Structure 1
Amino acid sequence: MHKNRPKNLDLATVKFPITATASILHRVSGIIVFISLAIFMFLLNLSLSSALGFHQVLGYFDNLFIEFIMWGALTGLAYHMVFGVRHMIQDLGFWEEMESASTSARYGFVLTFILSVLAGVLVW
């Protein structure tokens, strides 16, 4: 049996709708939040252990790489929070049509961008 169906295995040429991109990035941001939780817990533990530990944590934030990691973790947390609320609203039966789902995804990206800039201001 020979099936004449198109085969496109090049994912770079596949155009995902904005809702699919938002959903995939929500999963990726969940992984980022999970990993960054370990970093946050380590820094919290160290800062609460003693005055020396607190000053050591403050010293970490003089490093541009550490600041970038913190900004990325806060941006991932903001994205996950915004789109998690969006998913919960969809679970309630709203924004399920393609047009309203696409609009809510666009607004979610804009809100995440604003929160990301605010996180950058906070870190730097």
Structure 2
Amino acid sequence: MHFPIPAIASILHRISGVVLFLSLAPLLWLLNQSLASPSQFAEVQIWLSYWWMKLILWSVLTATAYHICAGVRHLIMDLGFGESLKAGKQSAIIAIGIALVLSVLGGIWLW
């Protein structure tokens, strides 16, 4: 027994939303630190140069990309388009594919 691809897309959409919610406070704190003073900005730049921080930022970028792609998919389906089983499967594959491409591009941009 396995989940159909639209179910996987829906579950990933919820997980990406949780990741974005949990990352909001630390990202706002980093923004606050970077805007506090020029020396704090330089310190945040040093923090962001570490590989583990880039990995965290990449995961947030990936979650953002997927959440947007899946959200647009859901909005289009809410308008009445692509509600059939076949169209739902195709749109889930497309949303996951676009998010994967954006994830790779985000990783290239960070590193």
> When the two structures are superposed, what TM-score results if normalisation uses the length of structure 2?
0.96
- Matched-pair identity in %: 44
Out of 87, 92, 101, the position equivalent to 2:74 is 87
- Following superposition, the deviation at residue 118 of structure 1 comes to 1.1
* 3-state secondary structure, aligned to 2:80: coil
Report the AA paired with residue 90 of structure 2.
Answer: T
- Following superposition, the deviation at residue 66 of structure 1 comes to 0.7
Report the AA paired with residue 17 of structure 1.
Answer: P
Gaps spanning 5+ residues in structure 1: where? Answer: 1-13
> When the two structures are superposed, what TM-score results if normalisation uses the length of structure 1?
0.87
Q: How many equivalent residue pairs?
A: 111
1:71 matched to 2:71? The reply is no
Gaps spanning 5+ residues in structure 2: where? Answer: none
Q: Whose radius of gyration is greater, 1 or 2? A: 1
* 3-state secondary structure, aligned to 1:96: coil
- Following superposition, the deviation at residue 35 of structure 1 comes to 1.1
User: What is the RMSD computed on CA atoms of the aligned residues?
Assistant: 0.8
- Following superposition, the deviation at residue 29 of structure 1 comes to 0.3
Structure 1 segments of 4 or more deviating over 4 A?
A: none
